Chain A
């Protein structure tokens, strides 16, 4: 099904099941511990053995030698596989998936700290771990580049969608603007810190390789694993029915899958492998740090006339930038604008996507700058944003937004949050030892659609089964897909079975870029349209006139149950949604406004968020309960990004030092006292038959700046260097009495 004209009325508009706050269909499995995650599956031939990875002890250089004598003779050890052993296992040199920057198995060259250099396979986990520690690798250290600020002058311009943009004449307009802001902001490297570690169980049957693993994008994973091991695609099966969080870290093939596959080949048995937490931070990907310069020029009455956003980030050679200027092209009106990204080469671990890549750090900077401008103009920050709203793509004014309710989000949020109580002058509100402030920021994230396919089956019990390789990374995919099929087929959600995350199923959008909900349900929609036709045909009804409701099919005064339609045999239909040019015609984005109240201890500078509110405009909300969960989770992550999350770089040795969850702090319950989420009632017919967009990343976009602005309003000390830890504003806090 090609979606190239805006959706008319369709069965989803009934909203009997879609749009309802259904509980997660797989919730009981998860709360009773019976949903099996990657490391827990039991279905494979034979008893498993255990793998443990050895990681590089240096960031850059070469392996001189690997001494495995001691390890080899330790109890239970079955195999040790390094890059030197590939030939003996029947592999050539490993390939590299097109979404990987660094090789997933290092040696002799080392590209980053904790790059995998060996897997040890043993009868037990403990034996494998002990032997991995006894593999002695000697290195020659090379010269590495680990400091973004130092490499900034060497950073290079980019091409394609990452190229510089310019509209009007920014430099002249900025220079002439009566009110200017020119500030530099920094955001640190961040880790996804998902609960479930990277984990895989791999086994071979002949030349066919199967994996239970934890991955967001089944088809990408399958392709990149086939490429890495030089296998035909059809010889690789990937299964990932439950994923304990990914946040972009599990978009890609990672070392757990490759190393477990090599280990399994060496021992001829299924190999279980989970990456230990202290290894993940440097072995896997992270959100790269940025340095961002933002220049805003405005008239005295508060109209933006010049918007400039430059961003520097770094990655391994061949990697990509953190696209932090993305939102600045579209968020506010202004005739003269420029964006520019520069990419430096760094020998730190691989940078890549983390939840709301681009917008998350981009808005952390931009939305402080906007707050600074509002203050300079002596305007209310909500009113300033409202005044500079645009309903068209500012770089291409003939191209409208499909739907843009940012102003409503801001106004309704302000009303509900009690924004009028905020004092414009900072550091004026005291409650005992606490300084209290409020902050606001706009949330913005583009809508992305990805082709997505599904298969639906109807059996003689009237049960509808959906099969697609879509993943549920804790987001609620199972539930919204069940709701979609139920709505389309006119049955209750209890009549639908959803099977996900298996490369044997049709290829879906996968989960990422907040495209999963809209794209994958649209694919299910397309498949259900086909199944409805098949049902009508089987019953001899006119497919155009058949109605599906209450478990019945009705047409022209005839009616039958769905079960009856499948009496003569299961009906199976496959459908795929593909996307036309509507996203070129219309700018499709999601919007929101974040409001935060924060308190700062006037003695110690400790920052505690007190209240958060998000108001979102993101198309049709497929399930308000799961959507709210996405929002509050993202807002929590936003607090982490604003106040504590930072991979601390050792600039001498080139690695993230705080590489466990004691050192890399994310918020705990006590940090998140009160969160509220409102969704504006929308349906965007230009985006899909579901008329939905996504919220999973929108919830994070802008939160950090809202926290930062609230902290500033509390203290009067502006911190432009995330995370805002107490040491950065302590010296500026009001003097103690």
Chain B
């Protein structure tokens, strides 16, 4: 870990201004991802602006009938909120499928959206990695990559976004609200938040330097069955090999988004027209153009099978 300076901001604007005004400055929220990366010198900020005292830790109804979730709401609090559990069950299910109780107590909304990949070569500073060190190459291509991406990847990087919460937020058409160092606010759909790697895998989101996530908003509830199935090699405390978030209506129509397969939560809205035709029809469109590696080719059929399982579960719940 490199030496760094530290301050605690008192307001969202002060926090954004503090980061925007200083090269190498970063926000720190729960610290569960950033500190690990700093210890390994994968991240080397020179200044940390702690945002835990800036408010933004409430969940409030919006005028549009949805919810506004402050960025500092912990994963634990968000998953446990009665409104979220009732109206956005897929979000609760996705969050509690992630990490561990202790980590979720610290993890925040904004930090979770910005968690970095779990590609093992990204974590080993002796290895080439375009995401960690632009231009150095990608050791994962041709190496151990069973858990890496199958779609949306590039010749520069095949890493996945490892998050669970983001998959549910993508499914729910959430929006991300931000403020920058000048106090300018903007709102962007979650679909535009995470970027595909292309030639610049180190650029992972649409955020500008110093831009602070203030909240995530959810549109009005969708009804239907809310399901999240996370497939992994052990029963808990592991990142997704593949995950499926779905909201399925009694007539079989609905939405599906996939985690563990791509550099961002993977959802193809056009494919959802086929939800009533079954998982194969949906998956064929969602994974059209997939470029898996030899080791992770199984993820494509696995994603389809996982979706089939989720659909079967929704049908069973409807009968019950």
Known: A652-B142, A657-B120, A727-B302. Contact between A278 and B40, CB under 8 A?
Answer: yes
By secondary structure, the B interface counts as loop
Do the beta carbons of B234 and A643 come within 8 Å of each other?
yes
Answer whether residue A129 sits at the interface, using C-beta atoms and an 8 A cutoff: yes
A130, B3: Cβ atoms under 8 Å?
yes
Chain B residues near A726 (CB-CB < 8 A):
231, 233, 241, 298, 302
Given A603-B306, A736-B308: A663 and B120 within 8 A (CB)?
yes
- Whole-angstrom CA separation of A583 from B41 in the bound complex: 55
A723 cross-chain contacts in B, Cβ below 8 A: 233
B143 within 8 A of A: yes
Instruction: Give CA–CA (A736, B305) in the complex, Å.
Output: 8
Given A653-B139, A657-B144; A644-B233 close (CB under 8 Å)? yes
Query: In the complex, which residue of chain B has the Cβ closest to the Cβ of A651?
Result: B143
Residues of chain A from 86 to 144 with CB closer than 8 A to chain B in the complex: 126, 129-130, 133
Q: Is the CB of A657 within 8 A of B1?
A: no
The answer on a CB contact under 8 Å between B312 and A643 is no
The CA of A658 and the CA of B145, in the complex, are separated in Å by 10
Known: A730-B298, A730-B302. A603 touches B312 (CB 8 A): yes
Q: Are A605 and B302 in contact (CB under 8 A)?
A: yes
SS class of chain A's interface: helix, strand, loop or mixed?
A: loop
- Number of A residues near B (Cβ < 8 Å) is 42
B291 on interface, CB distance cutoff 8 Å: no
Task: Tell me which residues from 574 to 613 in chain A have a Cβ below 8 Å from any Cβ of chain B.
Answer: 601, 603-606, 608
* Among listed B7-15, B23-31, B121-129, B202-210, interface-contacting one: B121-129
**Within 8 Å of chain A (Cβ to Cβ): is B86?**
no
When distances are taken between beta carbons in the complex, the residues of chain B under 8 Å from A604 are 229, 231, 242, 302, 305-306, 309
> Closest Cβ of chain A: how far from B222's Cβ, in Å?
24
In the assembled complex, A551 has its CB within 8 A of some CB on chain B? no
| Residue in A603, A605, A657, A670 whose beta carbon sits within 8 Å of that of B235 in the complex | A670
By a CB distance below 8 angstroms, the chain B residues around A68 are none
Give Cα A648 to B121, complex, Å: 12
A47 at the interface (CB under 8 A from B): no
Q: Which residues of B lie under 8 Å from residue A545 when comparing CB positions?
A: none
- Max count, chain A CB within 10 A of own CB: residue among B123, B144, B232, B237: B144
* In the assembled complex, B2 has its CB within 8 A of some CB on chain A: yes
Residues of B within 8 A of A (CB): 1-3, 39-41, 118, 120-121, 123-127, 139, 142-144, 146, 229, 231-239, 241-242, 298, 301-302, 305-306, 308-309, 312-313
Besides A657-B121, A730-B298, 19 more A-B contacts (Cβ < 8 Å) are A130-B1, A278-B123, A603-B306, A603-B308, A606-B232, A644-B233, A649-B144, A653-B127, A657-B143, A659-B120, A663-B118, A665-B234, A667-B234, A671-B236, A723-B233, A726-B302, A730-B301, A730-B302, A730-B305
Q: List 17 A-B contacts (CB under 8 A).
A: A278-B123, A603-B306, A603-B309, A604-B302, A605-B302, A643-B233, A643-B234, A644-B234, A650-B143, A662-B239, A725-B233, A727-B146, A727-B298, A730-B298, A730-B302, A731-B298, A736-B308
List chain A positions with a Cβ less than 8 A from chain B. Answer: 57-58, 75, 126, 129-130, 133, 278, 433, 601, 603-606, 608, 643-644, 648-650, 652-653, 657-660, 662-663, 665-671, 723, 725-727, 730-731, 736
Closest 9 CB pairs of A and B: A603-B309, A670-B235, A57-B126, A727-B298, A670-B236, A657-B144, A648-B144, A644-B233, A657-B120
